[in-house]
Structure 1
Amino acid sequence: MDEDDEDKRKREERDRKKAEVRKRLEEAQRQKKAKKGFLTPERKKKLRKLLMLKAAEDLKQQQMLKEQERQRILAERIIPLPDHLDSMDNSELQELAEEFQERIMELEANKYDLSYTVRQKDFEINELTIAVNDLRGKFVKPALKKVSNADTKFSKIKKSQSAKVDFRANLKEVDTKKFELGEEKEEVKADWAK
């Protein structure tokens, strides 16, 4: 019995070791499968959500910076009004009006200069795009002018009126006597009938 017990124990030990090895192999295969697909659908969703949050945060920050820049520029450009306008005399008010007028003239001059430079840049951009298109061999179709439908309708009506020609008036007159049967021909006819 000792041998049977010992054999039995050895078999159980072998089976247990085989089960452990199988378990390790299965675990290794599962880990390999998990490593294959790094971006699982859950990870993709989480990554997308994080990217959207980051983009929204960046957008808010940019808007805030633009607003701060706008406020700073407005503070530079706008001349504050004095609080005591009612108590000012005419000469002070006139000086203030002249100061505002000078500021307006300066801003209008700057505006004109900027609009001129913008027009120049637009012209240069247009010229460069034309040059690029010429080099590529692509030609831009020019914008067609709009033609009013009334003019074309009038021209069609005039053409149709000129197309109506009295054909009968231009026909030649044909001498019908030429085709009449004369007396001689009637005699020949009578001879043939007999």
Structure 2
Amino acid sequence: MSDQEQSGTRKMTHQRKMMLKSLMLNKAREDLKRETEEKAEEKKAALSKRLQPLGDLLSMSQQDLMDLCRDLHAKIDKVDEQRFDIEGRVKKNDQDIEDLNQKIFDLRGKFKRPPLRRVRMSADQMLRALLGSKHKVSMDLRSNLKAVKKGETKKEDAEVKDWRDNIEAKAGMGGKMAVFEGKE
């Protein structure tokens, strides 16, 4: 007797593994098929309970058809209201689940840090984001500047007679120092 036979375990051959795998896949396919058929039957049963047969529409009078349409519209409105209420409850439950998950993360001390991206923003956009969109913010820098009288600067320029005289006065090291120190 070998060691494998004594321990009670045998090594499975490749063919046996493939055969078992194919049998398991076939069984899973059958189960899925049966499950989809059962769901289809349940759906038909539920619809047959909820839906009423309309009867012979060709033999109905116009007034009967109008009454039938009104009833159908009323039922549609009722179902639509129920759908809207259920959607509201689902959204509320999703928000509650998200809040509870956030509390769990807070209690554990592990925080998810979202990756931050650089965003280019102008000064107007930054102030609008800080102050809100209701406050009109404008960065008109010229309005905040001190007013300068233009007439006085023209008089100083008029005193300079000839540009050549001005260049000769600034020529040499003494002239450059005068320009640097602000003297003329």
TM class, shorter-chain normalised? 0.5 to 0.7
SS at match of 1:87: coil
- Residue ranges of structure 2 left out of the alignment (5+ in a row): 126-169, 177-184
Q: Which residue of the partner structure matches residue 93 of structure 2?
A: 121
Q: Which residue of the partner structure matches residue 61 of structure 1?
A: 34
Q: Which residue of the partner structure matches residue 63 of structure 2?
A: 91
Higher fraction of helix = 1
**TM-score when scaled to structure 2?**
0.56
Within 1, Cα distance between the matches of 2:171 and 2:62? Answer: 107
SS at match of 2:110: coil
Residue 30 of structure 1 deviates from its aligned partner by 9.1
Does the alignment pair 1:39 with 2:2?
no
Does the alignment pair 1:77 with 2:50?
yes
SS at match of 2:89: helix
Residue 175 of structure 1 deviates from its aligned partner by 7.0
Within 2, Cα distance between the matches of 1:73 and 1:141? Answer: 47
The answer on whether the counterparts of 2:105 and 2:111 sit within 8 Å (CA) in structure 1 is yes
* Alignment CA distance shift 1:111-1:45 (3 Å): same
Match of 1:52 among 12, 25, 32: 25
Q: Which residue of the partner structure matches residue 137 of structure 1?
A: 109
RMSD of Structure 2 on Structure 1 (CA): 3.5
Within 2, Cα distance between the matches of 1:100 and 1:145? Answer: 53
Match of 1:176 among 144, 148, 173: 173
Within 1, Cα distance between the matches of 2:77 and 2:13? Answer: 64
SS at match of 1:82: coil
Q: Which residue of the partner structure matches residue 76 of structure 2?
A: 104
- Residue ranges of structure 1 left out of the alignment (5+ in a row): 1-27, 156-172, 180-194
Larger Rg: 1
